[in-house]
Chain A
Amino acid sequence: MEDIKIPTKKNFRTVEEINEKIRNGDVQVLTALEMKKLVESSGVEIALKEVDVVTTGTFGAMCSSGALINVGHSDPPIKIQRAWMNDVEVCHPGAAVDLFIGATQMSEEQPFDYGGGHLIEDLIRGKEVELRATSYGTDCYPRTQISTNLTKDDLNQFYLLNFRNCYQRYVCAVNSLDQTIYTYMGKLLPRFRNANFSGAGELNPLMNDLTYETIGLGTRIFLGGAQGYVIGEGTQHDPKNRFGTIMVKGNCKDMSPEFIQGASFTNYGTTLYVGLGIPIPILNEELVKKTAIRDEDIFTDIVDYGIPRRARPKIGKVNYKDLKSGLIDVNGKRVRTSSLSSFKKAKQVSELLKLWIENQDFYLTTPVEKLPTDTVFKPMKQTQETSFVSNVMHNAITCTEDEEIQSIANRIVTNSVNHIVVIDESGKLRGIVTSWDVTKAMAERKNQLSSVVSRRVVTAKPEEPLETASRKMAQHNISALPVINSERKVLGIVTAEDVSRLLGK
Chain B
Amino acid sequence: MVKILLKFSESLVGKPITSEIVLKYNVPINIITANITSKGGEFLAEIPDEALEKMVKAFRQRGLIVTLPKLIEIDEKECFSCGACITICPVEALEFDTDFSLVFNKEKCLGSTCNACVDACPAKAINSVG
Contact = CB atoms under 8 A, between A and B. Distances in A.
A335 to B, nearest CB: 8
B80 interface: yes
A424 to B, nearest CB: 29
A342 B100 CA distance: 8
Contacts of B124: 113, 263-264
Contacts of B85: 338
Interface string B73-117: 000000011111111100000001001110000000000000000
A44 B80 CA distance: 35
Interface size class of B (residues with CB under 8 A): 10 to 19
Interface stretch (A64-72, A84-92, A99-107, A186-194): A186-194
A319 to B, nearest CB: 17
Contacts, number: 70
A344 B84 contact: no
A338 B87 contact: yes
Contacts of A344: 80-81, 99-101
B2 interface: no
A336 interface: yes
Nearest to B79: A342
A261 B80 CA distance: 9
B30 to A, nearest CB: 23
Interface in A406-450: none
A340 B100 contact: no
Contact of B87 (A60, A61, A336, A341): A336
B120 interface: yes
B96 A342 contact: no
What DSSP secondary structure best describes chain A's contact surface?
strand
A326 interface: yes
Interface in A330-350: 336-345, 347
A273 B122 contact: yes
Interface string B6-33: 0000000000000000000000000000
B110 to A, nearest CB: 16
A263 B84 CA distance: 12
Contacts of B129: none
A271 interface: yes
Interface string A164-184: 000000000000000000100
Given A195-B87, A336-B86, A187 B80 contact: no
A338 B84 contact: yes
Contact of A337 (B87, B100, B101, B122): B87
A340 B84 contact: yes
A363 interface: no
A101 B88 CA distance: 32
A243 interface: no
A340 B122 contact: yes
A226 to B, nearest CB: 18
B75 to A, nearest CB: 12
B122 A338 contact: no
B81 A187 contact: no
Nearest to B96: A326
A59 interface: yes
Contacts of B101: 344
6 contacts: A189-B87, A261-B80, A338-B84, A342-B82, A344-B99, A347-B100
Given A194-B87, A339-B84, 8 more contacts: A194-B88, A263-B124, A266-B120, A341-B82, A342-B82, A343-B81, A343-B100, A344-B100
